Amino acid sequence: METPNINDFLDLKNYGMAKKINTYRKIIVTVDQSNREEIESLAKRRTEANRYHHRKATVLTKDYEKIGVLGEFSFEVLTKTPMDRRIGILDKYDFKINEKEIDIKATENGRELPVKEHRLVESPNYLYVYTRVNQVTYECEFLGYLPGNKIKINGIDENGVWRVPQKGLHSMEELERMLGGNGIFKTGRRI
């Protein structure tokens, strides 16, 4: 029996690595100061319009609407795809890019992706994009995404919310390729 050569092993281990130098998992977007008033205004209008809805639904945080609008607005900045500024619950998704429906899920803690049971769409073409927002700096860190048909890999909590840990998400680089390749994300710091 022939003794394996360490160089053969190293060549096999490094196979394909040289082709993929610029990789990233997350993208950070900071909303310009001039747009912050628009975010505040839209969040306030959504809160007023959805008062009845909020009494019936589970509100996860005090600034529920502001956090969501900040996440959606940041995705608009990232992709240059206009967000839906209409008021009311019209579509379950926030964006549609290349036949993929995208739902931005924003939270402040960034530990897990929350998806309410009544908002779950179990389809490989429905993508939940997860972002951690900072309401003070207006910075959004896009942490990854998960297709709707993969959400139920974890349990549901007592409030009817599926919670997917951050480690279970696909990378933003993978999302960029899925949505149309390099260049679909127009801005942002890739890490």
pLDDT above 60 for 99 = yes
For the stretch 20-49, pLDDT in tens is 444 578 899 999 989 999 999 998 888 877
Whole-number Å distance between alpha carbons of 168 and 137:
27
Is 155 strand, coil or helix?
coil
- Helix-, strand-, coil-residue percentages of the chain, each rounded to 5: 35, 25, 40
pLDDT classification of 12: cutoffs 50, 70, 90: very low
Whole-number Å distance between alpha carbons of 72 and 133:
10
Q: How many domains does the chain have?
A: 1
Question: In which domain, by residue range, is 63 found?
Answer: 22-190
Backbone angles phi, psi at 5, to 5 degrees: -90, 130
What average pLDDT does the segment 157-178 reach?
84
Q: Is there a domain that residue 15 lies in?
A: no
Q: Is there a domain that residue 160 lies in?
A: yes
pLDDT above 70 for 7 = no
Residues 6+ apart with CB under 8 A from 152: 120, 122, 162
Q: Is there a domain that residue 17 lies in?
A: no
Residue pair 28/140 in contact (Cβ under 8 Å)? The answer is: yes
What average pLDDT does the segment 123-135 reach?
93
Q: Is there a domain that residue 7 lies in?
A: no
Q: Is there a domain that residue 140 lies in?
A: yes
Q: Is there a domain that residue 75 lies in?
A: yes
Q: Is there a domain that residue 16 lies in?
A: no
